[in-house]
Amino acid sequence: MTWFYDPLRTYEDNYSHGPFGSWAEVAADAVTGSGGDVTDRGAPAHTFLGHPVHRPFGIPAGPLVNAAFCEAALAHAFDIAVYKTVRTGAHPTHPFPNCLAVTTDGPLDPDRLDTLVAGADLDAARSISNSFGVPSRDPDKWQPDMSRAVAAAGPGQVLVGSYQGTRTGGGEDAYVADHVRAATLCVEAGAPVLEMNLSCPNEGTGHLLCFDTELVTRIAGAVKDAVGDVPLVLKLAHFASQPALEEFLAATAPIVDGYAAINTVPARLVTPAGDQALPGWGREVAGVCGEAIGPAAVAMVRRLAQWRVDAAAQFAIVGVGGVMGLRDVAAHVAAGADAVMSATGAMIDPELGRRVAAASWPV
């Protein structure tokens, strides 16, 4: 296994000693790969939320757990690097393991909760579980580290700061304030673009924040008031209801600058013997990412793009989910994505950024 994030190691081991494989040693001034020499990339030909980029392609929040991972991603021509979601206080990781190989019979239907077999044999995995629990260091640890990651972005590259609010028992006002505080901390660290994670399945797949339009609208408005012109992207899960999606977009599109979709598709994960695959309370259901969610992700991009046309709205769409190679990048762009990101595909193929860099755009 040559993954840069090693799922056979704990999250803490990855954080302290990664990245691994071909990313273990990087030289930011020597970006070459099997797709061709891309060291001299010329002037950036594209933009992402007002920032020049060579290719609007990158890695979403998840595997880039700290600055070392972000530096390696940027050096390997992933031109948009999203620093893993941070919070206003320290939070632990779910128990190991977090990533298991997931067996599917084909694409997952996000409108039903499938039961899937999951195991530790990741060598040939194309879809995996994602069960981390949104871990975070304290801001006094992650802020300087995020600043280091921001500084690693070269010409034609950009670092995105992902964050989420935390419910502390103080009511809705406190929850809104915590989102604002997290966003402000990211801006203080120098993040030129923000992503608000509304769709993490680790804290209850049935109660994702993105499905509460009224509360998201209030939070997004408060965050934009605080961060001003810093672009804000909302990370979404799959919406089963088209009217609910349209209501959400109508309420939030005047406030925010873009949407990223999708996060994962939830499934009930079991061992070959039928037991719970991921240890611990509340982990019977976990998010699945990788190849199996590709069609659902592309369909969600297409729905966002169609509403954007119908409403004559202006916002960026980031296509995420099931991007395993160039063909999947092309599918997201054809559906209407302005930028595309890959997590599982990038972990399996750490040279994917260089392959995209060496190809024309649209791919």
* Cβ neighbours of residue 148 closer than 8 Å, sequence gap 6 or more: 67, 71
Alpha helices, DSSP H, located in the chain: 11-17, 67-75, 139-152, 172-188, 213-227, 242-252, 294-310, 326-335, 344-348, 352-358
Q: Are strands 32-33 and 36-37 parallel, antiparallel or unpaired?
A: antiparallel
Low-confidence residues in the chain, pLDDT < 70: 1, 26-39, 201-206
* The pLDDT value given to residue 168: 85
* The pLDDT value given to residue 118: 98
Provide the 10 A C-beta neighbour count for residue 273. 7
SS3 category, 52: strand
Q: Please give the model's pTM, rounded to 2 decimal places.
A: 0.95
* The pLDDT value given to residue 25: 77
SS3 category, 347: helix
Q: What angle do CA 52, 340, 91 make, to 5 degrees?
A: 95
* The pLDDT value given to residue 170: 86
